[in-house]
Chains A and B, each alone.
Chain A
Amino acid sequence: MKLSDIAQVIRSKNAGPRRLTFDIMFGSDEDYRRVAQSPGLSAETIGGLYGVPASEVAIFPYPVGRAIKVVLARKIMAGDPGDFDVYGAQQHAPLLGIEL
């Protein structure tokens, strides 16, 4: 099963101009637990998808919001020459296909 088959929301946005934050939200506690316990959504997997070391990927389980938050450093500060997504709102795509 892919992450996009089970999550209700998979979104990305800047958390300040130097960080990207990803929110993965679920429709039920059961779905949340299933993904939170899955080895598929690991710092290694996410780091690989975004080309950053696993040590720079922070994952926060947030059960009260049935969500998992992921935070990465941006490779280019928002708005700097060479930036490709000033708001960071379209960096979620690589997460969609994560196999759980």
Chain B
Amino acid sequence: MSASGRILREIRAARRPLRVLGASGQLGYGVPTPAFEAGLARKPDMIGCDMGSIDIGPTYLGKGEMATSPESTRRDLRKVLLAARSLDIPLIIGSAGSAGAAAHLDATLDIVRDIARTEGLSFRMAVIRADTDRAMLIEAVRAGKVSGLDDMPALTEQDVHDAANIVGQMGTGPFRRALEADVDVIIAGRACDTGIFAALPTALGFPTGLSVHMAKIVECASLCCVPGGRDSILAILDDEGFVLESMNPDRAATPISVAAHSLYEQSDPYTVIEPDGCLDLTDAQYVAVDARRARVSGAAWKDSTDPTIKLEGATKIGERAILLCGSADPRFIAQSKDLLPKVAIVVRDLVCEDTPEDYTLRFRVYGVDGVRMNVPPGEAMPGEVFIMAECIAPTRARASEVVRTCKQFLLHYGYPGRLSTAGNIAFPFTPPEISVGPAYRFSVYHLLHVDDVDALFPVEIETT
């Protein structure tokens, strides 16, 4: 019998609290070993790791690349895999490879299989794909079963065709099916972080509200503590609540720090919408067990009558090239807002002599208005600025042509009152132009209304 079958049978036969180890909120960026080993010494019933997020932007999803380096990803996967196998407990990983599309999942699986070979491990592994079938999605668009999230414009059939990758965020259901299939390891594509951690407790009949609330906290490892951090966290769940304890003795899960974690990256601290229902934290209570442990209870759950899956998709919009430079000239800095668009016109007149204006060129002046959404008028000018010019064009060659031309004419652009006639900008190195690679944007951020959520996320089983 494999690990999930053993745990399900054991706890169904003799009910006891469930011990869940949240190893890492970002597998691939390093799992601190001392806290992880302290967690293993507490004999957890499962290890869960979230491996991805939409926060990293559209390019990883579109391009099919991981945000983490192959070396650190392998180190982390090896660490959690060896630990789970030595304790014979399920290892559950969601949003594989940063964005959870086929390319990310397959790259993660290649590493897992290679670790198994190298370490001489044999285990049963469930693989859950999250890629959205295009023909099904077009049918859903036509049937009016797709709606925009947060005022996203309506999805069109063209959007569906054009996207490089489209994934759906699976909830607990697919993970539960994988656990019931008697496996040691689950590697899932794009997933709700709660799916990773709430599947085992809900399969065992622990209250859904408590299970999902616990999942929502432990997926970020010790981020809910003071001071917050990425060390592993242990949750012990019973039928009335759960106790949180960081596996780093210098971090404390206090009632306030845990309650405040419900704010993190959420637009509503009391409500969390999941594919198959809604977590209601209105009556959640947070109580100190001791100085380092908090007990949480009171979360309620309401099943949805209209199950939905959040879809994410990215479309290629061109090739990106950038120019990096700086200025220390007060007159140049004071005029930069007016002057840079004029440089863009000089560039356009040159590079569009025999080619249409098929690109965008943007400037960002760091020190002045590079970062903020809204800059108040009348701010004092800084002594130095950093300038980034960014071009997105149909081809790598075209984007490079635009930023190289821009570099030359920004360097030598004449403006009223100019004193530094040998050059307007400083380069930290040359060449100062960089071809970044393909650029993507999120073209899909929608809810898909579905009758059979599980059908979207097939579970495949393999033995390494």
The answer to whether A85 has its CB under 8 Å from any CB of chain B is yes
A64 to B270, CA, bound (A): 11
| CB <8 Å contact, B266 and A84 | no
| CB <8 Å contact, B284 and A64 | yes
User: Which of the candidate stretches B107-115, B256-264, B324-332, B416-424 sits at the interface with the other chain?
Assistant: B256-264
| CB <8 Å contact, B371 and A79 | no
Q: How far is the CB of B220 from chain A (nearest CB, A)?
A: 12
Q: How far is the CB of B207 from chain A (nearest CB, A)?
A: 20
Closest to B263 in A: A23
Closest to B257 in A: A65
- Which residues of chain A in 42-90 are interfacial with respect to chain B, using CB atoms and an 8 Å cutoff? 49-51, 58, 60, 62, 64-67, 69, 71, 73-75, 77-82, 84-87, 90
Q: How far is the CB of B316 from chain A (nearest CB, A)?
A: 12
> Given A66-B256, A79-B58, do A15 and B373 touch, yes or no (CB 8 Å)?
no
A62 to B372, CA, bound (A): 26
A81 to B442, CA, bound (A): 10
**Total contacts A to B, CB within 8 angstroms?**
120
| CB <8 Å contact, A17 and B317 | no
A55 to B151, CA, bound (A): 15
Q: How far is the CB of B228 from chain A (nearest CB, A)?
A: 10
- Which residues of chain B in 263-321 are interfacial with respect to chain A, using CB atoms and an 8 Å cutoff? 263-270, 284, 286, 317
| CB <8 Å contact, B259 and A69 | no
Q: How far is the CB of B260 from chain A (nearest CB, A)?
A: 4
A61 to B434, CA, bound (A): 45
A interface footprint on B360-379 (CB within 8 Å = 1, 0 otherwise): 10101000001111101000
Of the residues A21, A75, A86, contact of B266 by C-beta under 8 Å: A21
Find the residue from B284, B372, B376 having the highest chain A CB count within 10 A. B372
A21 to B152, CA, bound (A): 17
B442 contacts across to A, CB distance below 8 A = 17, 77-80
| CB <8 Å contact, A18 and B445 | yes
| CB <8 Å contact, B374 and A85 | no
Interface residues on A, range: 35 or more
- Which residues of chain B in 24-81 are interfacial with respect to chain A, using CB atoms and an 8 Å cutoff? 54-59
> Given A13-B265, A15-B265, A50-B373, do A65 and B259 touch, yes or no (CB 8 Å)?
yes
| CB <8 Å contact, A80 and B441 | yes
The answer to whether B149 has its CB under 8 Å from any CB of chain A is yes
Of the residues B54, B152, B269, B372, contact of A65 by C-beta under 8 Å: B269
B370 contacts across to A, CB distance below 8 A = 84
A interface footprint on B428-444 (CB within 8 Å = 1, 0 otherwise): 00000000000111100
| CB <8 Å contact, B152 and A60 | no
A79 to B360, CA, bound (A): 15
Of the residues A51, A64, A90, A91, contact of B259 by C-beta under 8 Å: A64
The answer to whether B392 has its CB under 8 Å from any CB of chain A is yes
Find the residue from B57, B265, B373, B445 having the highest chain A CB count within 10 A. B373
> Given A18-B151, A80-B441, A81-B392, do A86 and B263 touch, yes or no (CB 8 Å)?
no
Find the residue from B150, B151, B284, B364 having the highest chain A CB count within 10 A. B150
A67 contacts across to B, CB distance below 8 A = 260, 263, 269
| CB <8 Å contact, A66 and B445 | no
A75 contacts across to B, CB distance below 8 A = 373
23 A-B pairs (CB sep. < 8 Å) = A13-B264, A17-B57, A17-B58, A18-B149, A21-B263, A23-B264, A49-B374, A49-B376, A51-B373, A60-B269, A60-B270, A62-B262, A62-B270, A67-B260, A73-B150, A75-B373, A78-B442, A79-B59, A81-B392, A82-B362, A84-B373, A91-B372, A93-B371
**Chain B interface residues (CB < 8 Å from chain A):** 54-59, 149-152, 256, 259-270, 284, 286, 317, 360, 362, 364, 370-374, 376, 392, 439-442, 445
Give the 7 A-B CB pairs with smallest separation, nearest first.
A79-B57, A65-B260, A51-B374, A18-B150, A65-B259, A15-B267, A79-B58
